[in-house]
Amino acid sequence: MSTTTDLPLPTSHLPPPTFHYPVLIIGGGQAGLSMSYCLKQRGIDHLIFEKNRIGEAWRSQRWDTFCLVTPNWQCDLPGFPYPGSDPNGFMKKDEIVGYLESYANSFQPPVREGVSVSRLNRHPSGKFEVLTSIGEFTADQVVIATGGYQISALPRMAERLPKTLVQMHSSLYKSPDSIPPGEVLVVGSGQSGCQIAEDLHLAGRKVHLAVGGAPRTARRYRGKDVVDWLHDMGYYSKPVHEHPLKERVRAKANHYVTGRDGGRDIDLRRFALEGMQLYGRLKTIEDNVMDFADDLPQNLDNADKVAESIKDTIDKFILTNQVEAPTESRYTPLWQPDPGPRQLDLAHSNITTVIWCMGFSTDYRWIELPLFDGKGYPAHQRGVTTIPGIYFLGLPWQYTWGSGRFSGVKQDALFLADNIEARHTAPPTPVAQKLNELALGNQPVTQAFSLWVSRAFCPCLQ
Ligand SMILES: Cc1cc2nc3c(=O)[nH]c(=O)nc-3n(C[C@H](O)[C@H](O)[C@H](O)COP(=O)(O)OP(=O)(O)OC[C@H]3O[C@@H](n4cnc5c(N)ncnc54)[C@H](O)[C@@H]3O)c2cc1C
């Protein structure tokens, strides 16, 4: 057996094994995949690191009956518009995962699943260093597509709940059968809180819901889905700097509404009439007693006010643009709180489970680059950061309302791809290409090449 190689044998002072790519993408959700598609179209060599599986957030952080709140036609990833037969419907969890898997199958992105990135910093040479669970890589440019929802927000007061109660964040809730029998307290009335409360309520569980200040919207109005109207009125293409709240809009809660069973309103007043116990915002927990603010009436009124103001805007649009649309009577509140209980004594209740639905925050501790603002938010313009070659993709309201969702990630990915292409220089050398293929494990490695690599980088093995 021959042990010779036609590659030059490197000497021992060569650097330790690193693998270089023109572009590395961190995160294999819809944003990372969209970025990969756009780079592939431009012939730019790159690799995605995904710490779990592609589309992981949709697989493991959603409950069993989860379905999209936005209509299917808004699923418009680059090169892959919604392929199904129900554009006005709302895909269920498994269908969303299927959509992302079909997307990946359609263009075969270079992705390493099960590889997490634990550090991103800059080498004095100017290249970016990416430390992963399979070793160190370098890149000329890096796209951070790790999503806007990484850390489950849990208030410290959760620590004061009695140990006998089961408590979890909304991202861990699966189904009514997956939690202990008994009554359930849901804290938070954003999209997740309201939908989880509904899921339990429909399953016949007694639900207690602490209602916060999230707005709501009607599902349909005057013959169309509200998302279709908002789209027609240009709300999804308005850039963040043109929004009246400017960048502050990024911190706003989403409107609650559901896509369940073909889509409908979520009316907490109706749930109350049907037996759900509503409270105001949760203030404290002291000696097993939960204290709520007296803002339940105000929170319900404000949510309705927002829903009605969206209808006002639609009416105005219809009138100004002479759109043909049926008329529709306005909402009248079905129920009024009086003003709602202020306390809940857990010791004397049948509550067995508390589900915290207070959203998420981001975790950028692994990014060792000075690109954050005073609040720890990445300073960027449309995802292009203050450090040339570092980009973000998929942030909520990164550029438009759709940026952090299926509808807007395409235009952001295309924009970043143009920026990346403008900075992109030479194609990889044959040796770098071989090393990358070896790292990926998706190319047959010749015995000669293995030997060359082991001699070059692993002298202790010889
Ligand atoms: C409850 C909920 C409901 C939503 N409903 C809708 C809806 O109806 N319609 C809509 O359009 N949008 C919706 N969204 C918003 C958005 O579409 C999702 O949040 C979507 O998952 C965002 O995709 P992404 O690729 O930006 O991020 P993610 O899907 O979060 O993907 C990021 C990926 O990065 C990986 N990752 C993270 N850190 C690392 C690391 N250090 N190393 C390697 N990999 C890493 C993760 O494993 C993950 O797979 C919803 C969001 C939530 C939370």
Tell me the DSSP string of 97-134: HHHHHHHHHHH---EEET--EEEEEE-TTS-EEEEETT
CA of 189 to the centre of ligand 1 (A): 20
CA of 260 to the centre of ligand 1 (A): 20
Domain boundaries, the chain: 19-150+362-424, 153-360, 434-461
Nearest CA owner, ligand 1 atom 30: 147
CA of 359 to the centre of ligand 1 (A): 13
CA distance 158 to 179: 18
Nearest CA owner, ligand 1 atom 41: 117
Q: What is the number of the ligand 1 atom nearest to the C-alpha of 53?
A: 49
What topology is assigned to 19-150+362-424 in CATH? Answer: FAD/NAD(P)-binding domain (3.50.50)
Common-topology check for domains 19-150+362-424 and 153-360: yes
Q: What is the number of the ligand 1 atom nearest to the C-alpha of 55?
A: 49
- Between helix 93-107 and helix 30-41 the angle, nearest 10°, is 20
Of 33, 49, 50, 61, the one to substitute when testing ligand 1's pocket (max ligand atoms within 8 A of C-beta) is 50
CA of 148 to the centre of ligand 1 (A): 7
Q: Given 3.50.50.60, 3.40.1170.10, 3.30.450.40, 3.40.50.1220, which CATH number is that of 153-360?
A: 3.50.50.60
Of 25, 51, 65, the one to substitute when testing ligand 1's pocket (max ligand atoms within 8 A of C-beta) is 51
Res 436: pLDDT? 56
Res 461: pLDDT? 32
Strand 360-361 relative to strand 384-385, pairing? unpaired
Residues having CB within 6 Å of any atom of ligand 1: 26-32, 49-52, 56-58, 68-70, 116-117, 145-147, 149, 192, 366, 394, 404-407
Q: What is the number of the ligand 1 atom nearest to the C-alpha of 75?
A: 11
CA of 354 to the centre of ligand 1 (A): 24
Q: Record the tokens describing residue 109, joined without a space.
A: 């992105």
Q: How many CA atoms lie within 13 A of 117 on its CB side?
A: 29
Res 346: pLDDT? 93
CA distance 20 to 435: 8
Res 9: pLDDT? 36
Res 15: pLDDT? 47
Q: What is the number of the ligand 1 atom nearest to the C-alpha of 192?
A: 1
Residue at token pair 């080498």: 123
Residues with Cβ within 8 Å of 35's Cβ and at least 6 positions away in sequence, in order, are: 25, 48, 143, 145, 393, 413, 416, 417
Q: Record the tokens describing residue 28, joined without a space.
A: 């294999």
The pLDDT averaged over each successive group of 10 residues in the chain (462 residues) is 36 57 98 98 97 96 97 97 96 97 97 97 93 96 94 91 95 97 97 97 98 97 98 93 88 92 97 97 94 96 97 98 96 88 93 96 95 93 96 96 95 98 74 56 46 40 30
> DSSP state, 401?
T
CA of 144 to the centre of ligand 1 (A): 12
